[in-house]
Amino acid sequence: MTNTIRISGSLRNRLMITLISGSAILGIILFFIVRGYATQIAQDGQDNILKASLSSILDAATIQDGLVEVDFPYASLSMLDTDLDDRVFYAIYQDGILLSGYKGLPAPSSLTGETRTFQTIKYKGTFARVANANRILVGERGRIEISVSVAQTQDDLSRTLNSISKNVAVFGAGFFILVAALSYLATSTTINPLMRLAASIKKRGPKDLSPFEKEIPSEMVPLVSSLNRLMGRLDLSLKQSEDFIAEAAHRVRTPLATVRSYADATLQRVSKSENREALRSMVRAIDEASRAASQLLDHAMITFRTDHLQKEYIDLIDLVQDLALRLSPIAEMKDVKILVNYKNPVEIHGDFILIQNAIRNLIDNALKYSPNEAIIKISVGSEPTPYLKIHDGGPGFPPDDIQNLTLRFTRGKNANGIIGSGLGLTIAKDVANAHNGRLEIFNHKKGGACAILSF
Amino acid sequence: MKYLLVEDNHELANAICSRIKFDGHVIDHADKLEDAIAYSNTGEYDLIFLDIMLPDGDGRSFLKHHRDQKKDTPIIVLTARSQVSDRISLLDLGADDYVTKPFDHAELQARCRAVLRRKAGTAQTILQFGDVAFNPLAGQLSIRDKMVNLRNRELRLFELLLNARGQIFSKQKLIDRLFSLDEDVSENAIEVYVGRLRKHLEDTSLKISTHRSLGYRLDDD
């Protein structure tokens, strides 16, 4: 059956992938947002210091005797000190002409008004943040524009940023793992009722078609209710076919029983030997037919059940004694004695109906082939494994075809005149195999047939 | 012995009834559940034969009704279903035994005897012939207060001859009654059983006489 099921993905995987990839995307977005804010804040901090530095330099600019003098304090630049010794550059321009400082720093772009600008440039092979500001000095000779650029490399800033990024990444990864675990958990709890439903249906015996009655989440109601309806229909149709078989058996067996009973009653009144012989043949044929029908039904049932064993703990001695009691009236008809021997209780785990059928067939055989006043010995034991041994007082198996007797519809050459279908030993062997046991048949050295059923 | 047969098929019922009557027993026949309950409420039966599929219901409900009323008349079910699970459920419902149709009359008789013997504790009818006492339900023979262990066939031969004392049974007739139809038995076998029974009955008031070319007869003095 399983090979016809077409599988398209898995609900569990689909749910997990959706949850995990969603959380991964969210994590990445969050990382960039946090990093952006951090960059902004760090940059603002640097810019503020640069601004302060600029202000202190510009404040130091004065006009002395018509000349511009900038005597800025040491602190103007030392305030920019960092742990990583970022380099600091400055340049002072008077009306666009470099008065002092490093060449190449960008001059203020605007010459109008007092403005401050910040930009990041590539300077001397590294990134640097540059702040510009202007100041107009009014002297005797007119207006002089002083502009100052202060630049600082960004080693410390990027280190801070990297460490923040790293921390955010570590936290992010941690959260991601947590979310992944949570989604696994969530998926499992969602899928579990489905798994439980599957397990409980799988566990059922082949005859259990009762509706599923345990509590289920509301989303599973449509599935379970259609399943219940399906099982209901199946149960009904099985019952109908069982009733049909019962009815069919009834229709066939009842007239057969009528014929047999009439033949039986007539035989008591008929004395002519050829009539008697005819009646006896009739009875024999009816017995053959009904025996074959029973055995075929049993064999079909056993073939079905060996695939769906309904195991339970069985007291083997109880079972054998019960069977011996059931069969004792037949044994008595031939004055045959059935002796059951055992020492200790023997328990096996198996399908009661199958094992009972197998043992019944073995005892049946022993009864059929035993002569009048014979003894059938049955011993039950548990060493080395649970076993049952039946030894009859009959002629034994024909030695030539002893190996073939367990094949379907095979009967021994000495079975002439004894009613049988050739299925008894097959049933016993099939039942043994289904329980990982074995059936051995052989002739006892003191005579009689022996069968050992071990589990 | 008085039997009740519950069977809806009249042909089969006639065949069974005539066979049972032939053995010298009384048998009533009910062909539906309702009648069966009426019969079993009014008559005293030693044993009931019950068919499962009846026109107005299931024979199993009769079984249940019977057991619920605490009646202990043994019931042997005549079933057309041979499957093991059916047989087990019948016994669980309180049937004493079952036979699967079509059945061997000898087997049915054997099962009746077994069931009656199991229930024999309650009603004890002992037939007394001088120093020979016979309990037909338990199938026990005692001579001068000593229990005699008879084999099954010896016992049945004894029953047969005892129930029709003074009547001559041919060897052929005895074979028909004592052996299953599918057994091939020679007339010598009967001689063996008669011989054994005679030995048990030595020096009692019961005698088995041989009538040349006719058969055997049991007489009590």
Residues of chain B with CATH 1.10.10.10: 127-220
Distance CA A366, CA A449 (A): 8
SS3 for B171-197 is: HHHHHHHHCCCCCCCCHHHHHHHHHHH
Which residue in B18, B92, B101, B118 has the most chain A C-beta atoms within 10 A of its own C-beta, making it the best mutation to test that interface? B101
Number of H helices, E strands in chain B: 8, 13
Distance CA A174, CA A156 (A): 27
Collapsed DSSP state (helix, strand, coil) of residue A323: helix
pLDDT in tens, A315-366: 999 999 988 988 888 888 888 989 999 988 889 888 888 898 899 999 988 9
Q: Compare CB distances from A264 to B19, B114, B153 and report the shortest one's residue.
A: B19
Residue B101 to residue A286, Cβ atoms within 8 A: no
Locate tokens 């309950």: which residue?
Answer: B37
Strands, E assignment, A104-201 = 116-123, 126-139, 142-153
Q: Is the pLDDT of residue A3 over 60?
A: no
Structural domains of chain A in order of their starting residue, each with its CATH number:
21-162 (3.30.450), 309-454 (3.30.565.10)
Contact A305, A314 (CB under 8 A): no
Sequence-separated (6 or more) residues with CB below 8 Å from residue B151: A335, A373, B196
Residue B53 to residue A246, Cβ atoms within 8 A: yes
Whether the model clears a pTM of 0.90, i.e. scores above it, the answer is no
Residue B84 to residue A271, Cβ atoms within 8 A: no
Q: Compare CB distances from A283 to B19, B83, B181 and report the shortest one's residue.
A: B181
Residues of B with CB under 8 A from a CB of A: 9, 11-12, 15-16, 18-19, 22, 53, 78, 80-85, 88, 97, 100-107, 110-111, 113-114, 151-153, 172-173, 176-177, 180-182, 184
CATH homologous superfamily of B2-118 equals Response regulator (3.40.50.2300)
Q: Residue A114 has what pLDDT?
A: 61
Q: Residue B84 has what pLDDT?
A: 63
Q: Compare CB distances from A335 to B19, B100, B153 and report the shortest one's residue.
A: B153
Residue B182 to residue A254, Cβ atoms within 8 A: no
pLDDT in tens, A108-128: 665 555 667 888 888 888 888
A-chain residues within 8 Å CB-CB of B18?
Answer: 265
Give burial (CB, 10 Å; 0-12/13-18/19+) of A32: exposed
**Helical (H) or strand (E) element with B152:** helix B152-163
A-chain residues within 8 Å CB-CB of B15?
Answer: 257-258, 261-262, 264-265
Residues of chain B with CATH 3.40.50.2300: 2-118
Q: Is the pLDDT of residue A248 over 80?
A: no
Distance CA B73, CA A69 (A): 138
Beta bridge partners of A6: none
Q: Is the pLDDT of residue A177 over 60?
A: yes
Q: Residue A2 has what pLDDT?
A: 47
Q: Compare CB distances from B107 to A252, A254, A330 and report the shortest one's residue.
A: A330
Collect the ranges in chain B with pLDDT lower than 50: none
Which residue in B89, B103, B170, B177 has the most chain A C-beta atoms within 10 A of its own C-beta, making it the best mutation to test that interface? B103
CATH number belonging to the domain at B127-220, selected among 3.30.470.10, 2.60.40.10, 1.10.10.10, 3.50.50.60: 1.10.10.10
